[in-house]
């Protein structure tokens, strides 16, 4: 073994010595900078996480089953609720089918967040705790990008398909409604998808900002719990909060301060048109707000992240 190593270098010495020593400007001469690099790295993340989850197949299926289980229970609950009432909230327009568009949208967004964002936010806290963030800081690529996407838990994507099914089913039912049918154009579907993306960005920003604080607080086990409690608020139509002092306070807080109420509400309103015909003024102003908030939150999370990094201590263990 030892001899092996001692002789090998001699053989390949010539090969190496001919290579030019990279000079000081080598870094500037590398081609292919910009978005393409990020896309390639992202693709490698997708590939690696797929390979990994295929390595634990039994686990993968059990996880699928349990997340689908939870979703079905959710559906049964609201099925039962709608056997007693026609809508959620007085004159809100959230009838059974409209609400199922809302519910399906919630599943889609939650599934995407749980697949792409949550594992990374948790992992980020873990990287801080163990000091493995060092490696991310060494790489010649945006650190926030590098810690935001490496882990993907594909089993959580099961609910994405259920969500699409539910939204599709509910939209078809709404379009077939004889008294007040829903009419959808491509623009509307496009806007729906666009605002889902905005919602994802908002949730991502909140989560990354929260996870960044563990650089200062050093505590991460409460993060997941806290997140769970927080997400409880975005899963409901915002109209339910719009009554009484407490309700309006909550509404204001989760619309303007931690704007997670916009995440599902805006795309769901755009697609289901609860107050049809047409989109009401309220939906448009909420959409405008969402656009603004998305950019703001993304900037804010970036700022918190950068600020937190300067306090990073790099635990060694």
Partner 1 sequence: MVTRIAPPEKPWRLASPKTMPLIEIDQLSKHYQVYQKQEGLWASVRGLFHRQYRQITALDAISLQVERGEFVAFLGPNGAGKTTTLKILSGVIHPTSGTCRVMGHVPWQRANAYRRRFALVMGQKNQLWWDLPAQESFRLHQHIYQIPAEQFQATRDELVDLLGLAKLMRQPVRELSLGERMKMELTAALLHRPEILFLDEPTIGLDVVAQHNIQQFLKHYQEVRSITILLTSHYMKDIEALCQRVVIINEGRIQFDGSLAEIVGKFDQERIVSLRLADTTGIADLQQFGRVTRSQPPQVQLRIPRSQVTSALTEILNRYQVDDVSVSDPPLEEVFAHLFTQGREATDQGASAPKEDMAGSRRLTGEARH
Partner 2 sequence: MTVWRSRVRLWWAIFRVSVEERLVYRGDFAFGTLMRFLPMLTQIFLWWAIFDAMAARPGETSDVNAIRIKGYNLHDMIAYMLLVMLARAFSSMPGLTSGIAGSIQKGEIKKFLIQPVDMLGSLLIQRIAHKLVYYLIAIGPFALVFFLCRSFFDAGFPAPDQLFGLVLALVGSFLLGFAMEACLGLVAFWLLEVTSLAFIFMLLTFFLSGHMFPLDLMPAPLDRLIGMLPFQYLAYFPSAVALGKVTGEDLVWGLVIQYLWVIGCWVLCRWLWVRGLVRYGGYGG
Residues 192, 271 contacting (CB under 8 angstroms): yes
Using rule CB under 8 A, residue 9 touches partner 1: yes
- Identify the CA nearest to 271 among candidates 29, 50, 99: 99
Q: Does 257 bind partner 1 (CB under 8 A)?
A: no
Inter-CA distances, 160 with 115, 156, 228, 287, Å? 10, 8, 19, 23
Residue choice 113, 117, 146, 208 for contact with partner 1 (CB under 8 A): 146
Place of tokens 């909230």: 89
Environment class of residue 239 by beta-carbon count within 10 Å: exposed (0-12), middle (13-18) or buried (19+)? Answer: buried
Q: Is 301 in the site for partner 2 (CB under 8 A)?
A: no
Reduce the DSSP state of residue 87 to 3 states and report it. Answer: strand
Check binding of 21 to partner 2 (CB under 8 A). Answer: no
Say if CB 45 and CB 145 are below 8 A apart: no
89 binds, among partner 1, partner 2, none (CB under 5 to 8 A by kind): partner 2
Tell me which of 70, 99, 139, 190 binds partner 1, using CB under 8 A.
139
Question: Which listed range, 23-31, 83-91, 105-113, 287-295, lies at the site for partner 1 (CB under 8 A)?
Answer: 23-31
Question: Which residue stretch of 8-16, 97-105, 154-162, 259-267 sits at the interface with partner 1 (rule: CB under 8 A)?
Answer: 8-16
User: What pairs with residue 219 in β-bridges?
Assistant: none
Question: CB of 83: closest distance to partner 2 in angstroms?
Answer: 7
Peptide bond into 44 cis (omega under 30): no
Structure tokens at 38: 């990020």
Q: Is 58 in the site for partner 1 (CB under 8 A)?
A: no
8-state DSSP, 115? I
Contact pattern from residue 197 through residue 236 relative to partner 2, giving x for each residue in contact according to CB under 8 A and a dash for the rest: -------------------------x--xx--x--xx-xx
Residues of the shown chain interacting with partner 1 in the complex, contacts defined by CB under 8 A? 1-2, 4-6, 8-9, 12-13, 15-17, 19, 21-22, 24-33, 37, 40-41, 44-45, 47-48, 51-52, 55-56, 130-135, 137-141, 143, 146, 310, 312-317
């Amino acid at each position: 073994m030892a001899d092996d190593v001692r002789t090998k270098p001699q053989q390949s010495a010539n090969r190496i010595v001919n290579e030019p020593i990279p000079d000081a400007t080598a870094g500037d001469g590398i081609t292919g900078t910009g978005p393409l690099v990020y896309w390639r790295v992202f693709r490698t993340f997708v590939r690696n996480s797929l390979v990994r989850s295929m390595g634990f197949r039994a686990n993968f299926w059990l996880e699928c089953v349990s997340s689908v289980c939870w979703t079905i229970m959710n559906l049964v609950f609201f099925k039962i609720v709608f056997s007693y009432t026609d809508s959620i909230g007085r004159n809100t327009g959230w009838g059974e089918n409209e609400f199922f568009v809302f519910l399906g949208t919630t599943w889609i967004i939650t599934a995407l967040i749980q697949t792409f964002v949550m594992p990374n936010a948790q992992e980020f806290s873990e990287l801080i705790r163990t000091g493995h963030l060092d490696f991310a800081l060494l790489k010649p690529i945006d650190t926030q990008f590098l810690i935001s996407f490496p882990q993907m838990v594909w089993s959580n994507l099961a609910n994405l398909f259920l969500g699409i099914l539910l939204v599709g089913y509910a939209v078809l039912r709404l379009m077939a409604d004889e008294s007040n049918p829903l009419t959808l154009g491509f623009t509307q579907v496009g806007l729906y998808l666009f605002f889902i993306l905005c919602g994802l960005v908002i949730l991502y920003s909140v989560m990354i900002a929260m996870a960044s604080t563990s650089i200062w607080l050093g505590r991460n086990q409460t993060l997941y719990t806290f997140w769970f409690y927080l997400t409880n608020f975005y899963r409901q139509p915002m109209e339910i909060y719009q009554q009484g002092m407490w309700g309006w306070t909550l509404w204001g807080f989760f619309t303007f301060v931690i704007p997670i109420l916009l995440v599902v509400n805006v795309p769901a309103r755009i697609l289901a048109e609860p107050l049809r015909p047409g989109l009401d003024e309220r939906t448009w102003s909420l959409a405008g707000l969402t656009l603004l908030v998305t950019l703001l939150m993304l900037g804010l999370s970036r700022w918190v992240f950068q600020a937190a990094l300067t306090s990073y201590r790099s635990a060694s263990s």
